[in-house]
Structure 1
Amino acid sequence: MDVAVTKYPAIVDSDIDIRLLELEAKKIAQAIGSQIAPLTKSISDFGARVENRIIKAALLRAMKPAFENAYDPSKVARLLSAYRTATAQGRYGVFNPVMQSPPDTQLLFDAASPVADDYAYADWPEGEADEPILFYVPGGGFILPPSPKQVALAFRLAEHCGCEAVIGKHRLAPEYPFPIPANDLADQYAAMLESGVSASQIILSGDSAGATLIMAMLLELRKRGLPMPCGAILFSPWGDLAMRGWSYISKSMSGSSPFRMEAAAFSAKLYLGDTLPTDPRASPVYADLRDFPPLAIHCSRHDMHFDDAVQLAEKADDANVSIRMNYWDSPRHHLERFGSKDAKKSFDLVAEFINARVNRTG
């Protein structure tokens, strides 16, 4: 008797494709064609996949000493401190593509310690009265501070969109685990409101784990009854710390993503502690998104977090939240980090999203 062979990857991928088609039919999701010439794109994509494999190997090599010294907290603390210092100084280069550094006056905290416990909230941007503020939370797996070049990206994006940039600061796991980082960001936002900044002029944004914290921050703002910002932009969002999506497995095993599940699970465990990864405040794909501001999601079809992006778009639609998901056929995680034509197209779409939601009287 002939037995049909079930191709599980095809089944799971087709499920995502069907859900994606449904989002496209509702004009929620749209594929963004590459702005790069086909031959140039092929070469760039090949280079990206090679780079992704190098980054994976570098991350696993960096994690290995932590595993080997797991029962010596002092050694683990020294390793983590060294990684943080190198990242903050721009010497840990796997996530630092070439771009200009931010102005010296905008440099962040010294990452040798988890993060400054007090906030210099008096120094808000002195832009035009009607100029919106882009409140940006860079990714770092919850455990690393942003590098100077990550901060530079936030300033470049803000300048492109006619905004002033504010970098969201939060304490780092594992010293300050869930939900402290999101509460820190909510405190910073509340301080902005108290200083006279209007919520209608604030746009939130973040990438990867930074996008996770943006969503957790919005849940905290809703809990506190604070006015919501006028919108939020999520780049390559990490929506499910339980990593149930098929893209976590398929992209982890390929060169399409710079991450492996082991590295993601390592960061998630340090952030969560004893909290379940399905806690809605930790993983927004399990959250009720009612009363959230309009959302925009930018991601790659080949990103490890792609299934999360689809599920977040569905959750927002179910909650009657305005949502637009733009995705690219690219193997680059958070492609906006690179000075490409596709990155500029993403910036242009962000500018359109912001301009549709803020008041500019000038």
Structure 2
Amino acid sequence: MNQQGQNEQYLTDLYQNWSDRMTANPNMTIEDFRSLFDEWHQPTLEPENVCYKSESIAGIEGIWALPQGADRKKVILYTHGGGFAVGSASSHRKLAGHLAKALGVTAFVVDYKRAPEHVFPSQVNEVTAVYQALLKQGFEAKNLLTAGDSAGGNLAISTVLNLKKNNIELPGAVIAFSPWLDMEHLGETLVTNDATDALITTDLLKGMSSMFLGESGNPADPLANPLKADFTGFPRLYINAGSIESLVDNATRLNDLAKNQGVDVTLSVVDNMQHVFPCLAGHSKVADAEIAQIAQWYNNALAVAV
């Protein structure tokens, strides 16, 4: 295996290590679970010429990623993955930094309160509050993007659905990396890709969705499960996934649903890549090319708008 292949294998090995450790300790505490997933930053190289700043917006903590020369009037509101229960702004700040740098904007990574202590719709409401606070600070909706990975990809979408429901001006675009959307666990690639996905299993998803929804949450609620939502009037949307991950059909089903309802959608399914493969940014030419492609998508749309 060449060096590039070894770099891409790093993510598979990390996920397999997590899976092995969870299997070996079926009674893992939520604190240990969170410590495990805070290793998610490891595959991502530190982006050059990006600095960070902690801040509380609308009473919710987060981390700003501030690339040198970025347009400070434009913000990615980034929501981290981790099944709504693990992961953090710290574990994903480098990924958000790479994305912001490529797009020429800033990013605010939200440290939303996690399950099981805080259940649905707490997370959606918190991200919505941050978005509204940015509007009150003078940011224009068209210059805001929501973006996220896995469960955070769900939040990047469900937050906009919540804004739409409440007649609040929508952001200019939405980006979802390997979004986890289906709280009913009906996707066929949960079965067909089970042997190739190093991390995601149906049992893992069921445990996390149970923590997220709590006792009264409905797995078919469109704000929990955007595959049940009405996407009419939704902003332009970029979705990606790896072809060998178990959640790839969450991405493809979202693409079909949104496109059929008139949304400008771009779908990128990349061969032989794992869940949230853009977190290999700086290590993998494939991840770097994907982020560059997203930047081209974003900037081409801006050029057309002008």
Unpaired stretches in structure 1, ≥5 consecutive residues: 1-37, 67-78, 110-115
Correspondence 1:353 to 2:297? yes
Count residues in correspondence.
Answer: 299
Contact 1:206 1:214 in 2 (8 A): yes
For residue 60 of structure 2, give the secondary structure of its aligned residue in structure 1. Answer: coil
TM-score, normalised with respect to structure 1: 0.73
For residue 77 of structure 2, give the secondary structure of its aligned residue in structure 1. Answer: strand
Correspondence 1:344 to 2:288? yes
Correspondence 1:65 to 2:27? yes
Q: What is residue 80 of structure 1 aligned with on the other side?
A: 30
Q: Could you tell which deviates more after superposition, 49-58 or 277-286?
A: 49-58
Q: Cα 1:203–1:318, aligned 2, differ >3 Å: closer, same or farther? A: same
Contact 1:45 1:330 in 2 (8 A): no
Correspondence 1:139 to 2:81? yes
Deviation, 1:141, is 1.0
Q: Cα 1:294–1:101, aligned 2, differ >3 Å: closer, same or farther? A: closer
TM-score, normalised with respect to structure 2: 0.86
Q: Cα 1:98–1:350, aligned 2, differ >3 Å: closer, same or farther? A: closer
Q: Cα 1:107–1:130, aligned 2, differ >3 Å: closer, same or farther? A: closer
- Equivalent positions of 1:158-307 (< 5 A) are 158-252=100-194, 254-273=195-214, 274-307=216-249
For residue 20 of structure 2, give the secondary structure of its aligned residue in structure 1. Answer: helix
Contact 2:41 2:94 in 1 (8 A): no
Unpaired stretches in structure 2, ≥5 consecutive residues: none
> Looking at both structures, which has the greater relative contact order when contacts are Cα pairs under 8 Å and sequence separation is at least 6?
1
Q: Cα 1:258–1:236, aligned 2, differ >3 Å: closer, same or farther? A: same
Mapped partners of 1:282, 1:136: distance in 2 = 18
Deviation, 1:223, is 1.3
Mapped partners of 1:120, 1:255: distance in 2 = 36
For residue 330 of structure 1, give the secondary structure of its aligned residue in structure 2. Answer: coil
For residue 302 of structure 1, give the secondary structure of its aligned residue in structure 2. Answer: coil
Correspondence 1:106 to 2:53? yes
The superposition leaves residues 313-362 of structure 1 with CA deviations (integer Å, 9 ceiling, x where unpaired) of 0110111011010111123211111121111111111101221344799x
Structure 2 letter corresponding to 1:260: T
Deviation, 1:42, is 6.2
The superposition leaves residues 179-199 of structure 1 with CA deviations (integer Å, 9 ceiling, x where unpaired) of 110011011101110111000
The superposition leaves residues 241-280 of structure 1 with CA deviations (integer Å, 9 ceiling, x where unpaired) of 111011112223x133422111111111000113221221
Contact 1:201 1:229 in 2 (8 A): yes
For residue 176 of structure 1, give the secondary structure of its aligned residue in structure 2. Answer: coil
% identity of equivalent residues? 22
CA RMSD of aligned residues (A): 3.2
Mapped partners of 1:50, 1:124: distance in 2 = 28
Q: Which has the larger radius of gyration?
A: 1
Mapped partners of 1:143, 1:326: distance in 2 = 27
For residue 258 of structure 1, give the secondary structure of its aligned residue in structure 2. Answer: coil
The superposition leaves residues 93-132 of structure 1 with CA deviations (integer Å, 9 ceiling, x where unpaired) of 36632522897853588xxxxxx982379x9979776742
Higher strand share: 2
Structure 2 letter corresponding to 1:80: I
Structure 1 letter corresponding to 2:156: I
Q: What is residue 33 of structure 1 aligned with on the other side?
A: none
The superposition leaves residues 274-332 of structure 1 with CA deviations (integer Å, 9 ceiling, x where unpaired) of 32212211111111111110001011111111111111001101110110101111232
Q: Which of the numbers 318, 324, 327 marks the counterpart of 2:266?
A: 324
